[in-house]
Amino acid sequence: MKHSARKRTRKRHPRRAALVAAGVLLGGLLAVPAVTATAGTGGGCADSDAAIYRPPVSAAAAPGEVVSCRTADSLPMIGDGTPVRAWKVQYGSTDGHDRKDTVAGTVIVPREAWRGPGERPLVAFVPGTLGIGPQCAFSRQLTGAYQDAYEGPNLAALLKAGFAVAATDGAGYLDGQVHPYVSGADAGHAVLDMVRAASRLPGSGVGPDTGVGIWGYSEGGSGSLWAAQLAASYAPELKVVGVASGGVPGDLRQVGTALDGGPFAGFLVDAVIGMAVTHPDMPFGSLLNGTGRQAVEDAESLCAVGTVVRFAGAQVRNYTGDGLTLEQLFALRGPDGTSWGQIVDTDKLGVGVGTPGSGARYEIGFPVLQYRGLLDEVIPAEAARSTRRAYCDAGITTRWVSYAGDHLTGDPQSITDAVNWLAGRFTGRPPGGNC
């Protein structure tokens, strides 16, 4: 590779890059105004806060059934000033193995009457990476248990537009649990059942026939696209009108390889632990050395910023007794002969998608917005492009937008465009695909 005399190559410092990333995240938090959005009472939800996060003795609730709820008195993360009513909710769902599960989330509805046509629309919001321990749950952070969530401005924009919001925490955030990070089916089911729960919540005013949009970025981008792929088969009664998904880790094998040893290796650590949670029969715990066991303990005790800083530059091979590389881990097989690589590949987005009536495994009958930062240093460009190509090749109306920022700044840069695009879906404007 040739360089001009005036150019110099620079060695990348993962720890420094991680600290810069942490500063960006925390800077976004500090930019949110003081507490202004307050939640009202009413609706008959008077369970304790502890009840929201206490796992049931056995998961028996039907998908979308409200198990417990309580009104939220304040939402410090949301600084727009829109008066709202809000509730924490525990609800029934289904995990990635089609077993009954229980999940928590938040429903937020503007107090002002909806002035648009028909019923007030609902946006199912899927938060980005927060960490894998229950202390990081989005609903906890929304209501003041500060850690390092950063998407309050996204919710504020939706509420200002008059939309109701149903924000799932995602699976694995109840007390004593571990979040199955980037597990597609777990995420998609939790999103769709959050919508069902919002319509069954006493006093929410959200009807079962309301138009539904879905929005998420990064891990939330993956979760929102999985909700899109599963909607027709898992929740066909929902009136989904469009999905906006940004910074999507569409190919976990490709993304994981790029993360290993880099500034954002913490995301890979969380993903490996999450997969071990969802596939307990696969080899994992017995492979770890002392450093690896400590890494698992640390990852489960940290949230987003702490994870990025703690694991900057981490390499998977340093956590196993035999020094196994990521590729070698992919080749390991469980008792039934399935390899870790095959499990990872089942979460690849865009595989088996098609339009209604196509006979595809995942039929999608609504438009999709996909976007990314051109300087994204977390999700390889090819991983994002391949997801887009798969949707376009399947004939799904897809709009693609790129922003000038990186992975962290791509989220806030997209807020206005994503909200306007969702508004267009609710009003029936042409989606403007650009495949």
CATH code of the domain containing 147:
3.40.50.1820
- Residue 80: the pLDDT is 61
Tell whether 94 is covered by a domain: yes
Tell whether 272 is covered by a domain: no
Low-confidence ranges of the chain (pLDDT < 70): 1-43, 80
Tell whether 307 is covered by a domain: no
Residue the block writes with tokens 């609706």: 43
184-200 helix and 219-234 helix, angle to the nearest 10 degrees:
70
Tell whether 283 is covered by a domain: no
Cβ(107)–Cβ(206) below 8 Å: yes
- Residue 8: the pLDDT is 34
Exposure string (b/e) for 211-226, b if CB count within 10 Å is 16 or more? bbbbbbbbbbbbbbbb
Torsion of CA 403, 406, 411, 413, to 10 degrees: -40
As for how many domains the chain has, the answer is 1
- Residue 79: the pLDDT is 72
Tell whether 405 is covered by a domain: yes
Tell whether 177 is covered by a domain: yes
Tell whether 270 is covered by a domain: no
CA pseudo-torsion sign 123, 127, 132, 134: negative
Tell whether 396 is covered by a domain: yes
Phi, psi of 93, rounded to the nearest 5 degrees: -150, -165
pLDDT, tens only, 118-130: 999 999 999 999 9
If we measure between CA atoms, which residue out of 88, 104, 109 comes closest to residue 46? 88
pTM of the model: 0.90
Cβ(180)–Cβ(275) below 8 Å: yes
Phi, psi of 108, rounded to the nearest 5 degrees: -130, 130
Cα–Cα distance measured from residue 211 to residue 117, given in angstroms and rounded to the nearest whole number: 11
- Residue 73: the pLDDT is 84
DSSP state of 114: P
- Residue 12: the pLDDT is 42
Percent pLDDT > 70 in the chain is 90
Domain carrying residue 246: 21-251+347-427
- Residue 147: the pLDDT is 73
